[in-house]
Amino acid sequence: MKALFIGGVKSGKSRHAESYTLKMHHNPVVYLATSEPIDKEMRERILKHKEQRSERFLNLEEPLNLVAAIELVKAPILIECMTVWMNNMLYHGFSKEDIFTQLQRLLALDKDMVFVQNDVGGGIIPDNALAREFVDISGVVSQMLGSECDEVYHCIAGIATKIK
């Protein structure tokens, strides 16, 4: 079973994805965090999130190679978040083709996975090439996830609506 929770920033997607993953009735459940502690604020945010989920999830951290991080994991996996992972890949010099290839490998794994993805394409077309590239790649990643996931939920204002 694969599920996607997609929505804007602070839309409730993470909270809904966590609840959904925990209801899979497997113990333990793995939380794969993709954020990198690049500055003080991000380190504090990561620590706060770890503390919030410490009793409910086994925590893994991997900013780039998601497949290697979970290949041997047997439990359901919540991946938070695909948008941050995509940003990490671009920041570290990987191409969009690298991103799409790794995502295909990830989606091919026979595992229960829940993905969180920011919907960044709902606004205006950005005014610079880098931001346009990011939005375009994110859109393709969202389409790949939506196509391969068994269930897709759109989150807005704290409400998750099943769209697939």
Looking at the annotation, which residues are catalytic? 49
Q: Is 87 helix (H, G, I), strand (E, B) or coil?
A: helix
> Are 106 and 85 in contact, with CB atoms under 8 Å apart?
no
Cβ atoms < 10 Å from Cβ of 31: 23
The amino acid occupying position 139 is G
Give the whole-angstrom CA distance, residue 117 versus residue 64.
15
Sheet strand arrangement including 30-33: 58-61, 30-33, 77-80, 113-118, 2-7, 151-156, 159-162
